[in-house]
Structure 1
């Protein structure tokens, strides 16, 4: 590849970013066919379960993993047990979950009894197999650590999550005057919140089949519907490969899209944290807030608390 597949662009203000991402003139959308992820600060782009210490803690706490060496199989086995536990507990509470024979088998038992069947299943289909994409995506959306990464079809959704994260961190979430909660420019002018933008056009083919784009069924999940959520994942290769961040993988392995002017496969937009409040209120004026992204009483309650500075 003659050009890097990942491009970084630093904006001096949220206003500059908004003028780029939401152009007022013409019909050209510079980010068509991209999906988005917002982060409140500069973090490695890794799935939650692959962040430092998470998987080791999981393996140490699962009774079935006691005294087992840390290797590829125990890692996969620990992830499978976590997803299975989520499936069983959700089913016990009467929540809508997909019918998955692999997880339904031995559902009355605390652990899978047929370990060899597990191993054959993973060996034949890779990890995470397509049969588990739906339930893994639901778990990821509600905070279960998995090897999925959350994205949204909507840039505005990612902006809200990123700006909210900054404001909550600095204790300014509830102020209606965003200038009162912005940070000290001398201390924060080099601190940014991040918007990732991934070109999904032919992503599976351009990654030689290594990246899966997964969208769970929306009809049974109001939050996913409102947030227009979806996920990416990479097949498990090795413990060492898991340490590679998603942006590093894209830069090394994913070609630019020739169909769209050879544009970047992944953008990393950096916006000053001091402008998080401005971004939040920009979205609020567009009618985008917690009450719209979290349908139900919880989202409305948070919105009302913000309205009344509580």
Structure 2
């Protein structure tokens, strides 16, 4: 069964511009959703040689989410993340775009500090980068308007930090639909109290990578940035959420709101009751925590997730 979301086409340099354009822009069907009740049909639909994603002239990237109702919102834009981590001095800095930039810089600076404490290498590191990343320079560059944030020099470290749990304005995507499938299923089976009646989702996204886009950026960094990144065939979508000093930062800004007529976002959903079976199938095809998180921790995680998949139906409430 198919349905379509209706979204406004253009996005401006700030959230206010996006909102203004929504009021008068033409409406197009930019996001299609296909709902599956069968695991076999869902699996076949994700095939790189299937009807949906099999066109050799169209390149898709993929993302899996454990809740089909969630929008594509970067972690550092989410209300729950801001409430939990933007505290103390950062809460006092105000709710505008410049205060948010300072908060995001502080997360990365703290990550950099602790990596230094343990002698861990940072991608793109150099004396020149350290000079560039000083708060005085970051605020000089982004202190009135932050439309360039994060700058190109910051992206490799931001990508590494994202892959190790730091909230950023990057959304993880993969060139492999099966990797996205794994993350959707694993996220569901790891829920302490999964709810009957929910869905999980895998997104396929294609866009014109050569256009000058203000709504989002496709970010690719070298595979050597992180072992996880290369194992997952990973890249990122940076959802722009920029503006001026004194202009309130937009909470929960999502990718869907930035799309225009050259983009196509396809969403496939599956009942959450099938998450355990989906994870077991991913394992059979060679996609598990052990493959997407290379190392001992990934191997251990694969063991435990397999047991959670087996007991999943018993834990549904």
What range describes the TM-score normalised by the shorter chain of this pair? 0.7 to 0.9
Q: Deviations over 1:14-39 (max 9, x none)?
A: 21111222277899715841111111
CA RMSD of aligned residues (A): 3.1
Matching of residue 212 in structure 1 with residue 239 in structure 2: no
The separation in 1 between residues aligned to 2:66 and 2:281, in whole angstroms, is 17
**Structure (1 or 2) with the larger CA radius of gyration:** 1
Aligned to 1:256: 262
The separation in 1 between residues aligned to 2:52 and 2:74, in whole angstroms, is 35
What is the aligned residue count? 275
Aligned to 2:293: 294
Matching of residue 198 in structure 1 with residue 205 in structure 2: yes
Q: 1:4 is paired with a residue of what secondary structure?
A: strand
The separation in 1 between residues aligned to 2:199 and 2:52, in whole angstroms, is 29
CA shift for structure 1 position 304: 4.1
Please give the residue correspondences for 1:111-126 in structure 2 after superposition, counting only pairs within 5 Å: 112=135, 114=136, 117-122=137-142, 123=145, 126=148
Q: Deviations over 1:75-126 (max 9, x none)?
A: 111111211221222133221212255751399xxx83x3xx3333224861
Aligned to 1:88: 113
| Structure-2-length-normalised TM-score | 0.75
CA shift for structure 1 position 208: 2.9
The separation in 1 between residues aligned to 2:255 and 2:128, in whole angstroms, is 29
Please give the residue correspondences for 1:227-246 in structure 2 after superposition, counting only pairs within 5 Å: 227-238=232-243, 239=248, 241=250, 243-246=252-255
The question of whether the paired residues in 2 share the 8 Å contact of 1:14 and 1:271 is answered with: yes
Task: Pick the aligned partner of 2:168 from 129, 146, 165.
Answer: 146
**Quick one: structure 1 residues 28 and 199, their matched pair in 2 at CA, closer, same or farther if it must change by over 3 Å?**
closer
5+ unaligned residues in a row in structure 1: which ranges?
172-182, 258-264
The question of whether the paired residues in 2 share the 8 Å contact of 1:236 and 1:242 is answered with: no
Please give the residue correspondences for 1:253-292 in structure 2 after superposition, counting only pairs within 5 Å: 254-256=260-262, 265-292=264-291
The separation in 2 between residues aligned to 1:53 and 1:165, in whole angstroms, is 18
Aligned to 1:52: 79
Aligned to 1:176: none
**Quick one: structure 1 residues 204 and 25, their matched pair in 2 at CA, closer, same or farther if it must change by over 3 Å?**
closer
The separation in 2 between residues aligned to 1:21 and 1:307, in whole angstroms, is 22
| Structure-1-length-normalised TM-score | 0.77
The question of whether the paired residues in 2 share the 8 Å contact of 1:152 and 1:229 is answered with: yes
5+ unaligned residues in a row in structure 2: which ranges?
1-25, 312-317
Aligned to 2:131: 105
Please give the residue correspondences for 1:166-181 in structure 2 after superposition, counting only pairs within 5 Å: 166-169=188-191
The question of whether the paired residues in 1 share the 8 Å contact of 2:28 and 2:261 is answered with: no
**Quick one: structure 1 residues 35 and 86, their matched pair in 2 at CA, closer, same or farther if it must change by over 3 Å?**
same
The question of whether the paired residues in 2 share the 8 Å contact of 1:38 and 1:194 is answered with: yes
**Quick one: structure 1 residues 277 and 106, their matched pair in 2 at CA, closer, same or farther if it must change by over 3 Å?**
closer
**Quick one: structure 1 residues 100 and 58, their matched pair in 2 at CA, closer, same or farther if it must change by over 3 Å?**
farther
CA shift for structure 1 position 204: 5.5
Aligned to 1:38: 64
The separation in 2 between residues aligned to 1:204 and 1:210, in whole angstroms, is 14
The question of whether the paired residues in 2 share the 8 Å contact of 1:193 and 1:270 is answered with: yes
CA shift for structure 1 position 148: 0.8
The separation in 2 between residues aligned to 1:54 and 1:145, in whole angstroms, is 8
